[in-house]
Amino acid sequence: MQGQQKKVSIGEFKTIFPYLKKYRVQYALGFFCLVAVDAAQVIIPQYIRGAVDLITQGSFRWFAVFRLCAAMLVTMFFIAFGRFLWRNFIHGSSRRIEAELRENLFVHLLAMSYDFYQKNKIGDLMARAINDVGAVRNSLGWGLVALVDGTIMAASILVIIFIQDAETAAMAVLPLPFVTLAMFLFGRAMGKRFHRAQETYSAMSDTVQETFAGIRVVKSFVKEWWFVKKFGRVNDDYRDANINLVKLYGGFFPFISFLAGLTILILLFAGGRRVVLGYLSPGGLVALFSYLQMLIWPLMGAGFMVNMIQRGAAGMARINEIFRTEPGIKNHEGASRASPAPGVPEIELRGLSFAYPDSQPALENITFSITGGTTLGILGRTGSGKSTLLKTFVRMVDPPPGSVFIRGMDVRLWDLAGLRKLFGVSPQDSYLFSDTIKNNIAYGIDDPDPADSSRLEEAGSRLEKAAALSALDRDMENFAAGRETLIGERGLTLSGGQKQRVAIARAVLSKPEILVLDDSFSAVDAETERRILTGVLGERKAEGKTTIIVSHKVSTLFAADRVVVLEDGTIAEYGTPGELLREGKFFARMAELQRLGERGEHNGFGETFGERPGEGGSPV
């Protein structure tokens, strides 16, 4: 999406119509108050005209002047109160629309598939959700006010001055057609330049987000200077784009002011002459001056309106690009959830083959099945297809129809939420939120009602148990605030092993039917790994639930009932750990290499690495 220069059309605002319809009453009341205020404003020069004419006559009563001043004061109070009302109705509605639009955009982004975030940068999406939505709000607030207010004020003033003195008015408004031409020319150029400014803001936002998200890497390689230069370039682009916009914007308003001043000059010449000739009273000339001064706002407001509407249209175009993008993976018609059935495999693959766009096949003809309560191990070199295989189970990528079955039903026919609810995943990248340890662990369960003490106690007990199973309980005792300790952005204050164990606790806490430990022990020592596997697998075996362990460490996979060895997207080996050892292939070679590397260190399952008791390597 980023970087595509497209023609901006006012038609982009069609997306906003449902929101405007929802707040049509508030907008109607707001515009009614706005029109009432405009009507009151155009009366004030008539009060001035009457007062000046009274004074210039030479003989007048002060009471008559005071009465005009009092009427003017009441009118001004009415204008002030009316302004408060229309601002409250119109700007309040535009703020509410902004909040709803941003929320709907957020919901739509959450529904997007995994591949969407591979194609679009987070900084750009944030810019659309903040800057572009703000531009839309301005167009629905100040933009519409300038349009309605400017149109009504200009029309009213022109009618009044032509009624008052048509000849003088005709000469004074001669520069106005140039305003229309300027609005057309400047408006088109302004929309393009604002679109460019928004794109450079997206690039700058993305650079900042990427830099601080990877601050550890930046500092460890002492590359601060490189990122300063990179940010400097995008910051300069953003500055230049905005300066180009400001130059245009800054040239438009002085030009409008010049035209407005020209009308005053014409009025001074033509109107003064008619006062001298007796065709126009002094009060009438002062009133005309007042009206032309008031006409400056509609002229200025026209430029303001063009600017706001063009900015809003450019922002709405960028937002609509997201709204028009459909999720690549979504529920098919008739999607449902399956219940466990006797004799049906928990997971079954039938000739699964999968390839990413413009890439070689990641998986080819994968066929196997496991029953409920099984612990499955997956081993393979980097790039062998392990992660892709896991993604097909939960439809993070869409497998071909009839190739992946969960509980006897094709995953493509599953309700997405129901399918993913079955799985609890501790991923390779242990992503943690900037929150407390407790909240990061409890992320996978619904918050209990604060008034329900029994459910609160149960949730606390489950959390403590999950922390113990993931061997995190000892660490929490050492934190300053225990489980209420804030862990910083992406768990910045935790070690790699602590982050992995928080992710394991999060996955275990939800008690999923299928638990996936995707290389979850890479930063965990052997003793802690043994403790976690013994506790987690022991509990899940007792409950008859399925566990999938992906690991590069063969010692970890000895806890599995069955092991799948992937090579170049195909199944190279399949069987129990003992059977694979005896076959002497990749699994056995990796076991021997790791045994030599660890010098016979115990794997934690009772025997020296690679020496399992029992025929066929049955799990402990």
Among 109-118, 207-216, 221-230, 443-452, the minimum mean pLDDT is found in: 443-452
Mean pLDDT, the chain, rounded, equals: 83
Helices 24-56 and 62-86 sit at what angle, rounded to 10 degrees? 160
The residue written with tokens 């028009």 in the block is 324
Within its chain, how far is the Cα of 492 from the centroid? 23
DSSP summary character for residue 359:
S
Q: Which residues sit opposite 549 in a β-bridge?
A: 377, 517
What is the rounded distance in angstroms from the CA atom of residue 46 to the CA atom of residue 118? 65
Q: Is the pLDDT at 364 greater than 90, yes or no?
A: yes
CA distances from 50 to 54, 109, 153, 388 (A): 6, 62, 21, 84
Mean pLDDT of 11-19: 88
CA atoms of 434 and 590, how far apart (whole Å): 38
Query: Residue 63: in which H helix or E strand, if any?
Result: helix 62-86
Strands (E), 472-596: 514-518, 546-550, 562-567, 570-575
Over residues 36-91, the pLDDT tens digits come to: 999 999 998 888 888 888 877 766 677 777 888 899 899 999 999 999 999 999 99
pLDDT band at 607 (very low <50, low <70, confident <90, very high): very low
Alpha-carbon distance of 183 to 256, in angstroms, equals 9
Taking alpha carbons only, the member of 424, 370, 391, 284 closest to residue 575 is: 370
Q: What type of residue is 102?
A: R
Report, in angstroms and rounded to the nearest whole number, the Rg of the chain calculated over CA atoms: 36
Instruction: Quickly count: other Cβ atoms within 10 Å of residue 492's Cβ.
Output: 12
Determine what percent of the chain is predicted with pLDDT higher than 90: 29
More confident residue, 29 or 248: 29
Distance CA 271, CA 554 (A): 98
Structure tokens at 137: 């709000």
Provide the whole-model pTM. 0.76
The domains located in the chain, with CATH, are 20-323 (1.20.1560.10), 347-422+512-617 (3.40.50.300), 432-494 (no CATH)
- How far is Cα 566 from Cα 587, in angstroms, rounded to an integer? 10
DSSP 250: H
Query: How far apart, in whole angstroms, are the C-alpha atoms of residue 342 and residue 25?
Result: 59
Using N-to-C axis directions, what is the helix angle for 496-509 and 526-543, rounded to 10°?
10
Contact by Cβ (8 Å): 436, 498:
no
Q: Tell me what pLDDT residue 120 has.
A: 85
